[in-house]
Amino acid sequence: MPKEQLFKTASRLFAAALGAAALAAVGVVAAQDDNGNENGDDSPGTVATASPTATASPVSAQRQVYIAQLSPTNGSGASGTARIVVDGGNMGVSIEGAGLSPNMMHPQHIHAGTQCAGTGADTNFDGWVDVKEAEAVGGQAILPLTLNLSAQAGSTDAGSAQNFPIASESGLISYIQSAPVANFGTLPMPTMSPTESPGTIPSPTESPTESPTPTDSPSPAESPSPTGSPAETPTVTPTLTPTTEPVFTPIPTESPEILSLSNRVVQIHGLDVVSLPSTVQSDEGMAANSTLPVACGTLVRVTE
């Protein structure tokens, strides 16, 4: 065979071998992209390659944040901020409080209601809104925010837990806890207090003075053209009566809640007072001053 033909044949064989090697290399890279590496595990040092069609993970898509600004009750001077983050399978809670009674345990709970109790909740007029009067407005405690949140989740008697934060010498608390969402099951829907009313806006036909009687109204075919003076074509302007604004705050997102937390009441208890009237009620087995509400706020869902 001439040398020139031998050279061409060798070149074709070399090119074919090179192409096969390149295809094999692509297969190895694809396997590593799909499985972490060729053995199917994620060994240290492996750098994952992002897929061009990657989307947000379910965990990040489910991140939900709630904030409650806590205001003083019973003249305590206490205040603070509660922040709850539900992210995928976990719920984290942080509470920063100030103006609390120093060196005292302060029970804190999420309640079933949607409104904090004000001075009007003092139904026996003893000068104090006790825990029972507050519950009549803000609902029963459904989740104690204790120093071991996971252990307290699903407690049948939320008010009985006794491992709450203790305020510092300066009356401060800084509380941070987290627990799996699955521990909490399905929280009951928020309950409205007897004093709450979402209110409805009446339609113009609900007022007898807002529309003429059907017999006085000409048919569309008989109606004159609108060329007359205002006196010739009287108009009816509906007068809507004022209504109470809805209690529920609109959630600035369309995604459903993982836990039903919007508009829930967050309440802190405990006031260092020397004496209280005998009419001040408390939870069973607890001193009346230890359960007095001292700060309260309503959770609002926000975006971050």
Average the pLDDT over 249-264 and give the result: 72
CB atoms within 10 A of CB 168: 13
In a domain, 128, yes or no: yes
Q: DSSP per residue over the chain, as a string?
A: --HHHHHHHHHHHHHHHHHHHHHHHHHHHHHHHHHSSTTSS--TTPPPPPPTT----HHHHT-EEEEEEEEE-TT---EEEEEEEEETTEEEEEEEEESPPTT-B--EEEESBSS---GGG-TT-SS---HHHHHHHH--EEEE--SSHHHHTT-SSGGG-----B--TTS-EEEEEEEEGGGG--PPPPB--TT-----PPPGGGSTTSS--GGGSPPTTTPPPTTS-TTTS------PPP-PPPSSPPPSS-SPPSS--TT-EEEEE----S---TT---STTS-HHHH-EEEEEE-EEE--
In a domain, 135, yes or no: yes
In a domain, 93, yes or no: yes
Could you tell me the pTM of the whole model?
0.60
Answer whether 70's CB lies under 8 Å from 266's CB.
yes
Residue 267 lies in domain: 59-194+244-302
Encode 49-114 in three state secondary structure: CCCCCCCCCHHHHCCEEEEEEEEECCCCCCEEEEEEEEECCEEEEEEEEECCCCCCECCEEEECEC
pLDDT of residue 3 exceeding 60, the answer is: no
Q: Among 106-115, 144-153, 172-181, which stretch is predicted with the lowest mean pLDDT?
A: 144-153
CB atoms within 10 A of CB 139: 23
In a domain, 261, yes or no: yes
More confident residue, 284 or 73: 73
Number of domain units in the chain:
1
Amino acid 38: pLDDT: 41
pLDDT of residue 6 exceeding 70, the answer is: no
CATH code (residue 261): 2.60.40.200
Residues 7-46 pLDDT 10s: 445 445 444 444 444 434 333 333 334 444 444 444 343 3
Amino acid 268: pLDDT: 98
- For 129, the token pair is 């809104």
Average the pLDDT over 101-125 and give the result: 96
Amino acid 151: pLDDT: 78
**How many whole angstroms separate alpha carbon 207 and alpha carbon 14?**
94
pLDDT of residue 123 exceeding 70, the answer is: yes
Amino acid 65: pLDDT: 97
Amino acid 62: pLDDT: 76
In a domain, 40, yes or no: no
In a domain, 203, yes or no: no
Residues 154-204 pLDDT 10s: 544 444 557 899 999 999 999 999 999 988 877 766 765 555 433 333 333
Average the pLDDT over 195-216 and give the result: 40
In a domain, 10, yes or no: no
Calculate Rg over the CA atoms of the chain: 34
In a domain, 50, yes or no: no
